Amino acid sequence: MLKPARQQQAKRSYVHLLHTDITRFDEAIDPEAWILVGDVTFRRDSMYMFCDSAHYYQKKNSFLAFGNVRMEQGDTLFLYGDYLNFDGVTNIAKVRNNVKLIDKDVVLETDSLDFDRNRNLGYFFEYGVLYDSTGTLKSYYGDYNLDTKKAVFIDDVVLENSKFLLLSDTLHYNTNNNLATIVGPTNMYSGKTEVYSESGTYNTAKRYATLVERPVLYNDNRNVTADSIFYNINLGYSEVFGNIVYTDTINRNMLTGEYAFLDEIRDSAYVTDRAMAVDFSQRDSLFIHSDTVWAVSYNLDTDSLYRLVRAYHKVRAWGQNMQAVCDSLVFDSRDTCITMYKDPILWYEGLQLLGEVVKVYMKDSSIDWVNIINQTLYVEKLDSTFYNQIRGQEMEFHFTDGELSEMQVIGSVELIFYPLDSDSTYIGMNTTTAGRTIAYMKNRKVDKVVVPKNSQGVFYPMSQRPEEKRFLENFAWFDYVRPLSKEDIFNWRGKGYGLELKIQRKDKIPLPTLNRFKK
């Protein structure tokens, strides 16, 4: 069988002694060697080797070199060291102490290097450092191939420059295209950002990473994991793909979706494609889905930071006690307020609340109060036939220990209310119109209603209640669009044509604030 051409050449190629100042034999030192001293030069094919002194074994086609060892091939490859054992049969050079391998702009330094000329491969095993124009690569074991320009570094690998640090157990690096290939557990650090990955690549020149197989990116108190992450360190952004989980451990919320764009400089996160925001800061976690979720941090001054979370188009939210739908919403951390826009509906247990704008204010990780503005409607379902109803221009709902305790309504108030007797039997239907009213809640239901003395109303016994007065003019029960579970938030159900809330003209006289009616 024919041998590869390089091996055939190695067999018939010899080490040639080109120069030495002194040649002698000394059986006491080495009976088989020529003792060469002073400006010693050898050649093997196109490789030239220099040293201060050497033991030359002509029959073995080998030599030992001592002092200022240098190997040169063309004008690109240089290998330096204090000691060299060159075997002309295997064509392997073993260089020791202060070893430096130079391949154009790449430098490899170590104390123990074996250089295989057949494969043009140098491998070290007592710690090595590789330098190129983008930084340094270190490990205890490794090799560098001069033909492919690929390096394999193993055991306590460190890749670093002034702005980046990578720690791994194994790393492949190509000096031609500055591409590091991650093949095992790896941590990367840049500024405040840390990345963990077990598979992917990092370009040390362009400073971007393409990571797969569920990498994790950490930044301050936030982290994101996904099927894959493209991380551009220079421009400070990441693109994230597939099964995304973005967690804010301080504010205790989470974003999920199939695509995300994270901007470190602006401290923002944009998530779409089955986007969902989860707030788990409360006892009752809230799950919010929309076409897009966008979270941004802002600095008012050096000591003030606040965060806005925007969800827009086809918003659906579900919690154990509260559900909602609207076109868009905004959460502002300055007043811990969730504001819902365009046809918002909020459900709390058996209550349905709606208006032009719904604001939910949080305090100590629970609902503090709810403000509903313009064209408001309160509906409490008593059973399949009867509904307590209140309409007005503005409503406030106050909570105590997480339970609804009080409701205030102002402006053109109309009320339909079914009071109960002691045995929970309906005693009649109360219809009232007033300028304002206060309702007190018990067990999440209306317990008592207080209206001004000048209010107008009629009480009908149950047997005499008129059918046409059972519902307010704008009564609607939208239970069919209500989210039923955290999985159901992804199933959009609209009101139906013509049932959308029509926004009133903005040039109407503004109503007074509810604050004047606070107790």
CA atoms within 13 A on the CB side of 232: 10
Q: How many residues does the chain have?
A: 519
Q: Which residues contact 248 (CB under 8 A, 6 or more apart)?
A: 221, 222, 254, 295
Among the listed ranges 47-61, 130-144, 296-310, which one has the minimum average pLDDT value? 296-310
Q: What confidence tier does 302 reach under pLDDT thresholds 50, 70, 90?
A: low
pLDDT over 80 at 459, yes or no: yes
pLDDT over 60 at 518, yes or no: no
Q: Which long-range contacts (CB under 8 A, 24 or more apart) does 433-436 make?
A: 433/457, 435/410, 435/411, 436/392, 436/408, 436/409, 436/410, 436/411, 436/517
Looking at per-residue pLDDT, the higher value among 512 and 15 belongs to 15
Looking at per-residue pLDDT, the higher value among 275 and 445 belongs to 275
3-state secondary structure 228-293: EEEEECCCCEEEEEEEEEEEECCCCEEEEEEEEEEECCCCEEEEEEEEEEEECCCCCCEEEEEEEE
Domains located in the chain, CATH noted: 11-97 (no CATH), 345-465 (2.60.450.10)
**Average pLDDT value over all residues in the chain:** 87
What is the per-residue pLDDT for 7?
A: 47
CA angle 494/497/503 to nearest 5° reads: 85
Residue 85 burial class via C-beta count within 10 angstroms: exposed 0-12, middle 13-18, buried 19 and up: middle
Which two three-digit tokens encode residue 236?
């400070």
pLDDT over 50 at 385, yes or no: yes
What is the per-residue pLDDT for 301?
A: 60
What is the per-residue pLDDT for 512?
A: 37
CA distance 104 to 76: 5
Looking at per-residue pLDDT, the higher value among 415 and 1 belongs to 415
> How far is C-alpha 100 from the geometric centre of its chain's CA atoms?
41
Beta bridge partners of 115: 93, 122
Which two three-digit tokens encode residue 254?
């989470």
Q: What confidence tier does 300 reach under pLDDT thresholds 50, 70, 90?
A: low
- Say if CB 325 and CB 344 are below 8 A apart: yes
CA distance 316 to 274: 12
> How far is C-alpha 317 from the geometric centre of its chain's CA atoms?
22
What is the per-residue pLDDT for 498?
A: 67
What is the per-residue pLDDT for 362?
A: 82
pLDDT tens by residue, 474-515:
888 999 999 999 999 999 988 776 677 666 644 343 333 444
What sign does the dihedral 225-227-232-235 (CA atoms) show? negative
pLDDT tens by residue, 35-69:
999 999 999 999 999 999 999 999 899 999 999 99
> How far is C-alpha 403 from the geometric centre of its chain's CA atoms?
35
Q: What confidence tier does 303 reach under pLDDT thresholds 50, 70, 90?
A: low
Other C-beta atoms within 10 Å of 31: how many?
Answer: 8
Which two three-digit tokens encode residue 260?
């995300």
Q: What is the DSSP letter of 404?
A: E
Q: Could you tell me what percent of the chain has a pLDDT over 90?
A: 58
Distance linking the first and last C-alpha atoms of the chain: 103
Among the listed ranges 219-223, 373-377, 414-418, 437-441, which one has the minimum average pLDDT value? 219-223
Per-residue pLDDT averaged across 416-424, rounded?
A: 85
Q: What confidence tier does 5 reach under pLDDT thresholds 50, 70, 90?
A: very low
Looking at per-residue pLDDT, the higher value among 518 and 397 belongs to 397
Among the listed ranges 111-125, 334-348, 494-508, which one has the minimum average pLDDT value? 494-508
104 vs 76, 107, 108, 300, 491, CA distance in Å? 5, 8, 11, 52, 61
What is the per-residue pLDDT for 332?
A: 86
pLDDT over 50 at 364, yes or no: yes
CA distance 15 to 277: 72
Q: Which residues contact 144 (CB under 8 A, 6 or more apart)?
A: 101, 103, 106, 108, 121, 122, 123, 130, 150, 151
What is the per-residue pLDDT for 502?
A: 65
CA distance 260 to 253: 16
pLDDT over 50 at 76, yes or no: yes
pTM beyond cutoff 0.85: no
What is the per-residue pLDDT for 326?
A: 93
What is the per-residue pLDDT for 515?
A: 40
CA distance 78 to 362: 69
What is the per-residue pLDDT for 503?
A: 65
Helix, strand or coil for residue 468?
Answer: helix
- Say if CB 22 and CB 52 are below 8 A apart: no
Beta bridge partners of 299: 305
